[in-house]
Structure 1
Amino acid sequence: MKITVKSWFKSGSPWVWMNAGAVSISVVMVVGLLALIAVRGLGHFWPASIMTAQYQVPGQSTQVVMGQFADEEEIPTQRLRDAGIQGFEEQDLVTRQLLKVGNRDVSGSDFAWIIEPWLDNIQYPEDAIALERREWGNFYGFVKEVRHNGAVVATGSEAWDALNASIERALTIHNDIYKIEKKDIGAINSKLERLRLQQRGLELKGEATPVALADIEAQRAELNAAYQVLEKSLGELYVSFTRDTVVAETVSGQAVEINVSKIVRAYQPNAMGLGGKIAFYGSKIWEFVADDPREANTEGGIFPAIFGTVMMVLIMSVIVTPFGVIAAVYLREYAKQGFTTRVIRIAVNNLAGVPSIVYGVFGLGFFVYFLGGQMDALFFPEALPAPTFGTPGLMWASLTLALLTLPVVIVATEEGLSRIPKSVREGSLALGATKAETLWRVVLPMASPAMMTGLILAVARAAGEVAPLMLVGVVKLAPSLPLDGNYPFLHLDQKFMHLGFHIYDVGFQSPNVEAARPLVYATALLLVVVIAVLNLSAVAIRNHLREKYKALEV
């Protein structure tokens, strides 16, 4: 049988192939984008070799440079000639490389662009060291001696081992200091603040009797005594923490004395084997995931941002699911299907297309200023004029995103309810169940996969939103997590960090753009991973529910 082009088009085969091709291209583009983000982001943590070289700029004296290659690009030689730099033939392109030179406290910048043809005598000395510092970025050079309270304790080949031992000791003391400052003293300060608010509340109610005040003063005195003990221990730790220093020499021969307490990590990448580099790479990835940020968010980790993102999404999910389900159940099961119901559905669908920043402005005006201000006046008068809930925080950010994603949950739940056969409802009613029992025991369980689908879509959108969060609770750096060991443990009034805002802040607000660029890719990859984990968890629950109630869909 002869198949014509017309009959082939009528069969629908071209459209099947076209759709398959579009899906394949989309998958390839998504995989390629994720691969690009992963390579640019995760490659930042690999311990690149440290090179030294002579750098001869035409017409200038020879310089000695040292650092790690970070990037390279080809530029037209005409740009160099326009800048007054000579020495190039009439070639089109020349390679220039971005060198991470570190030593910002010495040279004034972390990075420098160098022209590859001007590099000469490139070497990779095994004794070259890189020091990751809490301030001023990396230091590149050579270790000369280690001092203890100003006295030299190691020089030459012994200095490297002494430096590592000193750094390990300093990190142990740093962890002890962190525990005292953030946990022990933080807990005492929290209790002292509660006592202050308690006393203020008694004064406002006119119940500040001498007995009540004496009891508060006794508790305050006990806490102050504990604080004094911790303060003394903290002072002793700081004295021991800052006793060791290292004298390092730059490639130009300048000696720099660095306090070991300012060093996070020291390593010699040129002397590392493959196993050592892999172990170093793993430790850097773990630091990125589990530690707090430092150096204006361009160094360290992003754990507070991960925690804040997950916490906000979970609270948002707990809020949006019952409201979305109740609204969908009313519209589908109880509301009279007419003009008013159609208008409500149109309004719900239109709300899904409202720009997210509008929700942020609404959340700031209604939730924060109006609702939060009223809550402060009613429940926290002793804290005024300092706001408790009358300021952006975790609860208002979660409520704002719940409002933003509410239409998605309503529409998905309605679709699930509409697919349940009418015979199932009639069978339940025929067996003597009431309408409420039918809804609760039959209809809602069968519609639960659709509810989970709505929740998955809501999580996918909410986790990546940034614009509304900038108005209702997200900050560049939060000093503590919204969940800790201090009463009331979950601090819904507290500001928090978010991965999406962290990407914006590091990428566009960082004073050190070159250092921040790889972290933008790494944080973006981590945000995708967090969203994927949340979605896959919801998908697993949905599939379990779908299998559980599959027999009822006959």
Structure 2
Amino acid sequence: MRISVSDWTRSGSPWVWLNAGAVAICIIMVLGLLALIAVRGLGHFWPADVLSATYDQNGQRSVLVGELVESEFVPAAQLRDSGVDVPAGLEHMKRDLFKVGNRDVTGTDFVWALDDHVTERSYPVTMFVAERHEWGNLYGYLQAIKQDGELVAQHDGVAPGPEYDALWQDFQRRIVRAKELHDQIEDIQKGVIGSINYELERLRLKQRALELKNSTDVQAFAEIEDRRSELDAQYEVLQVELLELSNALNRDSFVAVVADGRTVEVQLSKVVRAFLPNSMHLGDKILHYMAKIWEFIADDPREANTEGGIFPAIYGTVMMVLLMSVMVTPFGVIAAVYLREYARQGFTTRVLRIAVNNLAGVPSIVYGVFGLGFFVYFLGGNIDDLFFPEAKPSPTFGTGGLMWASLTLALLTVPVVIVATEEGLSRIPRAVREGSLALGATKAETLWKVVLPMASPAIMTGVILAIARAAGEVAPLMLVGVVKLAPSLPLDMNYPYLHLDQKFMHLGFHIYDVGFQSPNVEAARPLVYATALLLVVVIALLNFSAIAIRNHLREKYKALEM
């Protein structure tokens, strides 16, 4: 039996296949995008081999040392216009981007080199890489170690052997010692001294408040001075301890020869880690790779956010999303319950629903402007006038902070919760409500013990979809509290522990800042991919969690729907 094209079209089969193909293409594109981001981002942490070669450019020979980052083909005409001698007949030439490091010596981290002009390539096993707190990587040959300015170990740095191995092991031991001292200093500065400074500021504000009230309570002033004296004494002790640790930290230094033959001396206190990439086995490289991944997740950023980790951004994002979810859930659910269960269904209710749906389409930057004007300037300014006059003219809540950012995103996402909750309430059979009322339950009891539990899958789906959207928003946060680098986390051990007035870092803004505001574009690009991948993973996990919670609740209350 032959089926005509018109019958086949009317059967709907073409549209089924068309939809299936569209879904398959979308899945392939999403997976391809994630793969691209993963390769570009996570590949940055792999310890690449370091090349040593001779580079001949316009008759000038120089030594090129660095990691090959990427290659591309450039039109020969473009190279000729820039003054490069290109052989006749060539249409394109390959050029390579090398990460050469030694920015404090050469002034740049990356250089482009024509592949045909790079000759005498080699991968010396004694070529080492030192990651530093400042000035990026250092590439060179280790020649000597100094302690208090005195030479304690020396080698030519080029020829491998037992003597070089002993020098390298001593070098690694001193790096570990310096890192431990650096961590101790950081713990004292950020932990103990940070707490002392925080309490001193609270005492200053307390004294200022008494002065504004024209208080004559001599005992209160005396208690403040006594406590300030105690804190000053503790601070002096810690300063002495910090001085001793700093002197011990600056004890060691090393001497290295870099690509152009210059000798440099660097304090070991500036080194994060050092390794020999050309002599590392696969297992060593995997361990190094995992350590770098962990550093990226767990450490603070450095070098204008182009090195180190993004832990403060992860922490700030999670804190903001948690606060936002706590704020948006009751408002969204209460509004949906009123519109569906209590409001008289008529023109006014239809207008309210249209307004809610339209709110979901308002650009996020508009919410940011509203949050800045209403929350920060109006509410925050009045809160400062009423409750924090002693801190003025410095604003407390009259500036962007964690609370205002959370409230702004709660307003942005509340339409999602309202719509999802209303849809869940509308699917509950009327007979369930009537049965509960017939058994003697009040309307409030019916709502609390029957209707809302049955609507909880929809409620949870709306809440977590709102969380997923809020986690990726950037534009409004730029106006109401997010910053490039926050010196401390919004949750710590200082009273009141959760600092709602404090500015914070955010993964989305971190991507924007590193990608578009960084002075070192080439160094920042891999971190943009890595941070974007992390943000995508977080949002995907939130969506998968929404599906799992929804399915669990749906199975739990399925019997009530039957």
**TM-score of Structure 1 vs Structure 2, range by shorter chain:** over 0.9
Equivalent residue number for residue 73 of structure 2: 74
- Pair 1:225-2:233 in alignment: yes
Equivalent residue number for residue 371 of structure 2: 363
Q: Any unmatched runs of 5+ in structure 2?
A: 156-163
CA deviation after TM superposition for structure 1 residue 186, in Å: 0.7
CA RMSD of aligned residues (A): 1.0
Separation in structure 1 between the aligned mates of residue 247 and residue 551 of structure 2, nearest angstrom: 58
Decide whether the 8 Å contact of 2:45 with 2:289 is kept in 1.
yes
Kindly provide the CA deviation profile for residues 392-423 of structure 1, in whole angstroms up to 9, marking residues without a partner as x: 00100000000001111111110100000000
- Secondary structure of the 2:67 match is strand
Decide whether the 8 Å contact of 1:291 with 1:301 is kept in 2.
yes
- Secondary structure of the 2:291 match is helix
- Secondary structure of the 2:293 match is helix
Equivalent residue number for residue 200 of structure 1: 208
Identical columns (%): 68
Separation in structure 1 between the aligned mates of residue 511 and residue 105 of structure 2, nearest angstrom: 29
Q: 197-206 vs 472-481, which deviates more?
A: 197-206
Decide whether the 8 Å contact of 1:143 with 1:248 is kept in 2.
yes
Kindly provide the CA deviation profile for residues 415-450 of structure 1, in whole angstroms up to 9, marking residues without a partner as x: 100000000000000000111110111001100110
Equivalent residue number for residue 159 of structure 2: none
Kindly provide the CA deviation profile for residues 28-83 of structure 1, in whole angstroms up to 9, marking residues without a partner as x: 0000000000000000000000010111123x221111000011111111111122
- Pair 1:242-2:250 in alignment: yes
- Secondary structure of the 1:146 match is strand
Decide whether the 8 Å contact of 1:456 with 1:539 is kept in 2.
no
Decide whether the 8 Å contact of 1:459 with 1:535 is kept in 2.
no
Which of the numbers 301, 325, 332 marks the counterpart of 1:293?
301
Kindly provide the CA deviation profile for residues 282-340 of structure 1, in whole angstroms up to 9, marking residues without a partner as x: 00000000000000000000000011111111111110011000000000111111111
Equivalent residue number for residue 482 of structure 1: 490
Decide whether the 8 Å contact of 2:465 with 2:546 is kept in 1.
no
Runs of 4+ in 1 over 4 A off after TM superposition: none
- Trace 1:305-324 onto structure 2 (pairs within 5 A): 305-324=313-332
Which of the numbers 454, 459, 477 marks the counterpart of 1:451?
459
- Secondary structure of the 1:256 match is strand
Equivalent residue number for residue 12 of structure 1: 12
- Pair 1:496-2:495 in alignment: no
CA deviation after TM superposition for structure 1 residue 179, in Å: 0.7
Separation in structure 2 between the aligned mates of residue 25 and residue 81 of structure 1, nearest angstrom: 42
CA deviation after TM superposition for structure 1 residue 515, in Å: 0.4
Q: State the one-letter code of the partner of 1:87.
A: V
- Secondary structure of the 1:66 match is strand
Separation in structure 2 between the aligned mates of residue 514 and residue 33 of structure 1, nearest angstrom: 21
Closer/same/farther in 2, CA of residues 174 and 208 from structure 1, 3 Å limit: farther
Separation in structure 2 between the aligned mates of residue 83 and residue 221 of structure 1, nearest angstrom: 67
Q: State the one-letter code of the partner of 1:7.
A: D
Kindly provide the CA deviation profile for residues 244-300 of structure 1, in whole angstroms up to 9, marking residues without a partner as x: 110000122110000110110101000100000000000000000000000000000
Equivalent residue number for residue 418 of structure 1: 426
- Secondary structure of the 2:151 match is strand
- Secondary structure of the 2:60 match is coil
Equivalent residue number for residue 528 of structure 1: 536
Equivalent residue number for residue 166 of structure 1: 174
Separation in structure 1 between the aligned mates of residue 128 and residue 363 of structure 2, nearest angstrom: 50
- Secondary structure of the 2:54 match is strand
Kindly provide the CA deviation profile for residues 474-506 of structure 1, in whole angstroms up to 9, marking residues without a partner as x: 000000000011111000100000011101100
TM-score (structure 1 length as normaliser): 0.98
Separation in structure 2 between the aligned mates of residue 152 and residue 205 of structure 1, nearest angstrom: 64
Kindly provide the CA deviation profile for residues 129-173 of structure 1, in whole angstroms up to 9, marking residues without a partner as x: 111111111110000000001001111213322211111000000
Decide whether the 8 Å contact of 1:199 with 1:208 is kept in 2.
no
- Secondary structure of the 2:57 match is coil
CA deviation after TM superposition for structure 1 residue 540, in Å: 3.0
Equivalent residue number for residue 277 of structure 1: 285
- Pair 1:112-2:111 in alignment: yes
Decide whether the 8 Å contact of 2:53 with 2:64 is kept in 1.
yes
Separation in structure 1 between the aligned mates of residue 543 and residue 25 of structure 2, nearest angstrom: 23
Q: State the one-letter code of the partner of 2:65.
A: M
Q: Any unmatched runs of 5+ in structure 1?
A: none
Equivalent residue number for residue 222 of structure 2: 214
- Pair 1:31-2:39 in alignment: no
- Pair 1:389-2:397 in alignment: yes
Equivalent residue number for residue 149 of structure 2: 150
Decide whether the 8 Å contact of 1:174 with 1:241 is kept in 2.
yes
Separation in structure 1 between the aligned mates of residue 386 and residue 476 of structure 2, nearest angstrom: 27
Separation in structure 1 between the aligned mates of residue 417 and residue 213 of structure 2, nearest angstrom: 45
Q: 498-507 vs 541-550, which deviates more?
A: 541-550
Separation in structure 1 between the aligned mates of residue 332 and residue 89 of structure 2, nearest angstrom: 67
- Pair 1:95-2:103 in alignment: no
- Pair 1:328-2:327 in alignment: no
Equivalent residue number for residue 42 of structure 1: 42
CA deviation after TM superposition for structure 1 residue 532, in Å: 2.1
CA deviation after TM superposition for structure 1 residue 208, in Å: 4.2
